[in-house]
Amino acid sequence: MSSPPSTPTESRALERLRQTFGHPAFRGQQADIVRHVADGGDALVLMPTGGGKSLCYQLPALLRPGLAIVVSPLIALMQDQVAALQQLGVRAGALHSGLTAREAAQTRRDALSGGLELLYVAPERLLAEGFIDMIASARLALFAIDEAHCVSQWGHDFRPEYLQLSVLAERFPEVPRIALTATADPQTRAEIIERLQLREARVFVSSFDRPNIRYTIEDRGDGRTQLLDFIRGSHDGESGIVYCLSRRKVEETAEWLAERGLTALPYHAGLDAATRSRHQRIFQEQDGVIIVATIAFGMGIDKPDVRFVAHLDLPKSVEGYYQETGRAGRDGEPADAWMVYGMADVVQQRRLIDESEADEGWKRIAAAKLNALLGIAESASCRRVPLLAYFGESSLPCGRCDNCLTPPLTWDATEAARMALSAVYRTRQRFGVVHLIDVLRGRTGERMIRWQHDKLSVFGIGAAHDEPTWRAVFRQLVALGLVEVDHAAHGALKLTEAARPVLRGEQILRLRRPREPVRATPRRRVAKSGAPSGSAPDRSRAQPPMDSGQSALLARLKAWRLEQSRAQRVPPYIVLNDATLEALTLARPDSLAALSQIHGIGERRLETYGAALLAVLADFSASHR
């Protein structure tokens, strides 16, 4: 909780927070950020997904006179934000390609006449000819640059248009600017500051820790079967996102899950716009829907009750992994980040880097980012420690990830590694993992005889180890940089200079043993009395599990919310989020005054929904006496 307000700006901010957003207090650094920007200061805000970033520019925009311009990269993100603000009585609009000419013209008139408090635009729109001149005639409150990591040429979501946003500092030096992101390592932070000319800005860095997310990374066997076991074992009937690298794999996985009784829908850029829109709407409106997608899906989705994010393919970087997994558990409730990973992932990602048309500098950085993610995947200790360390944050073991809950076994794999490296050398560095394992385990066959590899000194010397063990050894040797993949030779492994000390017996190597998939168990969810939109809840106020009557009332409130959302054509969580419905279920207010005390019920929602909510509560009570 923030400390009591000590300045006029803080007092006004807290009052507006209560009136408009229905929250009694700020969380974390929100109060300091809001005061700083509302008083005219520039800021760079690094805050994890679900930490309440939007409030850090929305509230200053309402406290300062004039029009706030919000630069946002995706139409879906703009639409969600505008719909949520309009529900709160805030005069917000957006200019994007999805509007008709008449709608766009009306939005421009509203913005220039003082009819809007916030205007969302894409960077392309902001930089379009005439737009800067148009807004120059308006009284400007501030500029907010959301998803600011898109300015980084080394980042996973680079948008060239973001590089030109420095024009805001040059053209409007007196207007405060706030840049916000959930994903920025120290190098990316420096790049944001430099490229957006925020050298004098105050930097606010919140913890990147998402304590409600449990991280699990499994050795890949049958990835789809492992995914199905994970979903049925931990998240049956709950919403989730499954990420795949290719469009074909997206469609095949969605179809496979649907054939097994799950509500699974594909989403990727190759589908027509109507199909993508329909699948996204179903995911937002209904419970228990699983979206199988490429990374094209997610940034613009504010759905708070995604209970799991699964990866069937290794992401390209820690930033990508962190941002994608961060789409789970935005409501602060327990959620899972689950991934299967194997040698093929390493080969594929390194091939994409090597075959890229980018310059050598970019390739070196991309390889370093991939290696950092491999370090997390191959870690034998807490996953969260290296994840947070990547963003410059130190931490103790979390006690909640798979490695903390079930510590993997490590073994002195020096001799096995020497066997594997020798097999690479003896086969003239021209073969991939499958063939090398066959050589080590002494499997005969046509290829073995043709190449006379059954005559090699290394043939059969590794028969004491099973295939999963050898797959793990080779995967870790690649991850450690002792061997590399030669894509020109169809995935053949080649020795690197780093292999010499191991081959000579000068270096001891301890590796992780492969283990059976972790059977995750459902974690008991707790009802909570609400939290600021997009913020993690205050766990000190957790309540016991709901009884059958409370569960029935919660279901009735969700049904009422769905009716409202369909009538207004907005996602249900825009009407009221789950935290507010759970608070209503537990408190059962019987008057408007009591209802106004519920977290998330501001003045506009009280006016719009108050009578209807009291009627639902009264009707339920009467029918269940």
The reply to whether 213-405 shares the fold of 8-205 is: yes
Instruction: Say which DSSP state 237 is in.
Output: T
Distance CA(175)–CA(195), nearest Å, equals 17
Alpha-carbon distances of 546 from 7, 131, 334, 551, rounded to whole Å: 41, 52, 16, 6
Alpha-carbon distances of 33 from 101, 117, 177, 389, 405, rounded to whole Å: 37, 19, 12, 24, 37
Distance CA(95)–CA(178), nearest Å, equals 20
Write the pLDDT tens digit of every residue in 93-134.
999 888 899 999 999 999 999 999 999 999 999 988 889 999
Tokens of residue 444, six digits: 């005969």
- 129 C-beta neighbours (distance < 10 Å), count: 6
User: Which helix (H) or strand (E) element contains residue 586?
Assistant: helix 578-587
Distance CA(285)–CA(600), nearest Å, equals 20
pLDDT below 50 — which residues of the chain? 1-2, 524-542
**Helical segments of 427-520, H only:** 433-441, 446-450, 467-479, 500-503
On whether the CB atoms of residues 149 and 157 are closer than 8 A, the answer is yes
Superfamily in which the 8-205 domain is placed by CATH:
P-loop containing nucleotide triphosphate hydrolases (3.40.50.300)
Distance CA(448)–CA(437), nearest Å, equals 12
Question: Where in the chain are the domains?
Answer: 8-205, 213-405, 410-512, 547-623
44 φ, ψ (degrees, to nearest 5): -115, 120
Distance CA(582)–CA(528), nearest Å, equals 7
User: Which helix (H) or strand (E) element contains residue 568?
Assistant: helix 548-568
The model's pTM? 0.81
Closest CA to 558 of 287, 308, 306, 289: 287
Has domain 410-512 been given CATH number 1.10.10.10?
Answer: yes
Tokens of residue 154, six digits: 């080394």
- What per-residue confidence (pLDDT) applies to 542? 45
On whether the CB atoms of residues 75 and 96 are closer than 8 A, the answer is yes
Strand partners, 145: 71, 179
Q: Is the CA virtual torsion 46, 49, 53, 54 positive or negative?
A: positive
Closest CA to 33 of 12, 18, 55: 55
Closest CA to 427 of 390, 465, 457, 470: 457
Distance CA(125)–CA(244), nearest Å, equals 31
User: Which helix (H) or strand (E) element contains residue 215?
Assistant: strand 213-219
- What per-residue confidence (pLDDT) applies to 425? 95
SS3 (DSSP) at 181: strand
**Helical segments of 235-295, H only:** 247-259, 273-285
What secondary structure, in 3-state letters, does 377-407 show? Answer: HCCCCCCHHHHHHHCCCCCCCCCCCHHHHCC
Written as one letter, the residue type at 337 is: A
CATH number for the segment(s) 547-623: 1.10.150.80
- For tokens 């005390």, the residue is 597
Distance CA(462)–CA(177), nearest Å, equals 62
Distance CA(404)–CA(368), nearest Å, equals 26
- What per-residue confidence (pLDDT) applies to 532? 38
Distance CA(34)–CA(30), nearest Å, equals 6
Strands 67-71 and 140-145: parallel
Strands 92-95 and 140-145: unpaired
The alpha carbon of 94 is separated from its chain's Cα centroid by a whole number of angstroms, namely 24
Closest CA to 238 of 297, 332, 306: 306
Question: How many residues belong to the chain?
Answer: 625
Written as one letter, the residue type at 354 is: D
Instruction: Say which DSSP state 42 is in.
Output: -
> Which distant-in-sequence residues (6+ apart) come within 8 Å of 288 by Cβ?
237, 238, 239, 263
Strands 410-412 and 510-512: antiparallel
- What per-residue confidence (pLDDT) applies to 529? 35
Superfamily in which the 213-405 domain is placed by CATH:
P-loop containing nucleotide triphosphate hydrolases (3.40.50.300)
